[in-house]
Chains A and B, each alone.
Chain A
Amino acid sequence: MQPFRKHTGVLVPLDKVNVDTDQIIPKQFLKRIERTGFGEFLFYDWRFSGDKKNGDFVLDAPRYARASILVAGKNFGCGSSREHAVWALADFGFRVIIASSFADIFANNSLKNGLLTVRLSEEQAAEIMRLSKEIESYQLTVDLEALRVEDGQGFAATFAMDEFSRRCLLNGLDDIGLTLEHEAQIAAYEAEHPVRAEMKTILMR
């Protein structure tokens, strides 16, 4: 996994609440069996009519063309568990998503892909949303070591993240490897809880 320490980039405002993963990556693109190539389909139904780009969606505005940080309304990433949503955001070039709240599964999926989800208060999120609309090429620096977001022009906020998740992100840790360090404990648990007799017949159909 790509480590995340500190990132500075242009902020793009997506001024909507409850953005669900069906909007982030519509179902017609979930049939791919690879992890790559989802970026061009990000927010497809909002960005395209038929298969032609509308050009009026915020991500397509020239001033936000280089954006790598997205700020959106509360409950971002709700709905379907599809990790394709995170793959699409990351593939499009986003490193950080900022909102006042995130759906649980989306936040977990982001963590596994080095995409940082930053929770700010509703007021703080609204403030940077306003600034990103008012100021051309408005940039933020997100520092995971210091758990801090700032614009160098007066806006600064801290955010919280559980320590284990933070350490995994900072170091780009493969958490399957971490779990397998507990091989002895897992094996002991399995010895105590063997596969049920009926389930052993499942392959004999």
Chain B
Amino acid sequence: MPPRTLFEKIWQAHVVAAPEGRSALLYIDLHLVHEVTSPQAFDGLRANGRPVRQPLRTVATVDHNIPTTPRGLPITDPIAAKQIEALQKNCREFGVPLFDIDSAEQGIVHVIGPELGITLPGMTIVCGDSHTSTHGAFGSLAFGIGTSEVEHVLATQCLPQRKPKTMKIRVSGKLAEGVTSKDLALGIIGRIGTDGATGYVIEYAGDGVRELSMEARMTLCNMSIEAGARAGLIAPDETTFAYVNGRRFAPKGKEWEAALAYWRTLASDPGAEFDRVIEIDAASLAPFVTWGTNPGMVVPVTARVPEFKSFAQEADRRAAEQALAYMGLNPGTLIETIAVDRVFIGSCTNSRIEDLRAAARVAKGQHVNPRVRAMVVPGSQAIKREAEEEGLHRIFLDAGFEWRESGCSMCLGMNPDILQPGERCASTSNRNFEGRQGRGGRTHLVSPMMAAAAAIAGHFTDIRNWKYE
């Protein structure tokens, strides 16, 4: 057999049928479901009299539109409440396990899959959410789908798929102190653009990736979609196995040993060919800050907002003009002089325990600038409990950050956590699109440490110069 990529191995292991003249039919090991992209899919099942084929390969939670205020309070948005009730009813009717709003396991769908040991290496994983690419950090093929495809997977546990191309991003060297995998992701997107990986599955490889913790790998894979990629994945290794081992739904005993033996085969073979290869020197990267209205509009914190004449393409120059008009910024402005009104630490990109520890290290003994409102939203109830056991919430609260309940929150502002028109936010989320965090809101994407530092300084500042207590 010719040498195969990791992607190819997972793909081949899941092809149920390859009918002549049609796309291959791929088996889906795990289908994650949330309240926003599923109600119409369940309606479709009902209309056609179809059951959920594999309820135990389906896991649901509520995350997108739930409030992050204390759990006992009522949901004040009646339409959001109706959507949550629809998921509860659908899960009951179709026998799908649901980690509901009052559950100790509730959290952002891409946070709880890994932390419960439901996400495992070698799996195919889908969810009606583009950031499903997060799970690729475990060496699984994980991608976002639309609601029609959600219905398709609920009904058949399969998905017809055109085979994507493969891209290898080889990261050499080590990220400097204060530079995180969020900065690595933003650096990659800044280089290849928001459509640089459209049609591709990315494999992140190289010693710069091996060095990363699972949390950092999840952040990197999470942002793959922001480069347009179908999925992003990392071959599992000892770091992966140590993370998975002992988690609640992970294999145990003899099954663990068997799984481990299989997972160790999940790496691209030497000599395996990729359609495209990109080299990144991790040591050369600085902390990044986006200046525009997509994640590719990004510069190092030490840089300035680009001049219009720096864009070679007319369409890109016009896009930059529109972006800066929306963002209320001028070309040539030093990033470190940009003041922020709001800070959001959270989202499926950066709400895990390691992210909170990093932000807390920056915040310890400091005070949020009086002009800034800053909130920390843990990715899950489990992370919230863990952080509280470590006393991180005390550090945040003492510094003047809000400490909230888990959910997607201000990443997409479907719940009451939104920016007001014109407000400028340093956000650890994944999208700085116009209006994403609230109509007229201005989002700058950064790492958790950079966000915490901006909250305290009141403007962006290079975390590499931070004086820790």
Identify the A interface with B (CB < 8 A). Answer: 16-18, 20, 22-23, 26-28, 30-35, 45, 73-75, 78-84, 86, 101, 103-105, 108-109, 112-113, 162-165, 167, 175-176, 178-180, 182, 185-186, 189-190, 193, 195-203
Contact = CB atoms under 8 A, between A and B. Distances in A.
B16 interface: yes
Given A105-B130, A162-B162, A198-B117, A185 B436 contact: no
Interface in B44-68: 48, 50, 54, 56-57, 59, 64-65
B315 A202 contact: no
A83 B319 contact: no
Given A22-B433, A31-B414, A193-B27, A17 B16 contact: no
A199 B39 CA distance: 24
Given A31-B83, A81-B128, A163-B21, A198 B251 contact: yes
B37 interface: yes
**Chain B interface SS verdict (over half):** loop
Q: Nearest 5 A-B pairs (CB), nearest first?
A: A112-B148, A109-B146, A83-B146, A33-B39, A75-B195
B431 interface: yes
Contacts of A162: 23, 162
A78 B194 contact: yes
A185 B21 CA distance: 17
B160 A27 contact: no
Contact of B65 (A31, A175, A186): A31
Contact of A83 (B65, B148, B164): B148
A167 B148 CA distance: 18
Nearest to A175: B160
A190 B240 CA distance: 26
A186 B199 CA distance: 27
Given A162-B162, A186-B157, A31 B80 contact: yes
A20 B39 contact: no
9 contacts: A23-B434, A33-B82, A75-B194, A81-B128, A103-B228, A104-B230, A105-B144, A109-B147, A176-B48
Q: Give the interface residue-count category, chain B.
A: 35 or more
Interface of B: 16-17, 19, 21-23, 25, 27, 29, 36-37, 39-40, 43, 48, 50, 54, 56-57, 59, 64-65, 77, 79-80, 82-83, 86, 95, 97, 117-118, 128-130, 144-149, 151-152, 155-158, 160, 162, 164, 194-195, 198-199, 225, 228, 230, 248-252, 255, 294, 315-316, 319, 322, 412-414, 431, 433-436, 439
Contact of B36 (A30, A73, A112): A30
A185 B434 contact: no
Contacts of B95: 203
A196 B258 CA distance: 12
A79 B431 contact: yes
Given A112-B146, A176-B151, A186-B156, A198 B249 contact: yes
B195 A103 contact: yes
Given A22-B434, A81-B145, A195 B156 contact: no
Given A112-B146, A196-B255, A104 B315 contact: no
A27 B251 contact: no
Contacts of A200: 56
Interface-centre pick from A18, A73, A163, A180 (highest chain B CB count, 10 A):
A18
B129 A81 contact: yes
B144 A81 contact: yes
A33 B21 CA distance: 35
A198 B117 CA distance: 10
B425 to A, nearest CB: 15
B158 A186 contact: yes
Contacts of A82: 36-37, 146
Chain B CB within 10 A, most for which of A74, A105, A175, A190: A105
Contacts of A202: 56, 59, 97, 249
B228 A75 contact: yes
Given A22-B431, A45-B434, A45-B439, A103 B198 contact: yes
A182 B435 contact: no
B160 A31 contact: no
A168 to B, nearest CB: 9
Contact of A199 (B19, B118, B144): B118
Given A27-B412, A179-B25, A79 B156 contact: no
A50 B83 CA distance: 24
A14 B193 CA distance: 21
B17 A101 contact: no
Contacts of A185: 16-17, 25
A74 B148 CA distance: 24
Given A18-B319, A193-B27, A108 B434 contact: no
Given A30-B36, A198-B252, A199-B249, A79 B130 contact: yes
B155 A164 contact: no
Contact of B435 (A23, A32, A74, A104): A23
B141 to A, nearest CB: 14
Q: Which interface residue of A104, A109, A112 has the most chain B CB atoms within 10 A?
A: A104
Most A Cβ at <10 Å: residue of B25, B128, B316, B433: B433
A201 B56 CA distance: 9
A173 to B, nearest CB: 10
Contact of A178 (B22, B65, B82, B148): B22
Contacts of A165: 23, 162
A163 B20 CA distance: 11
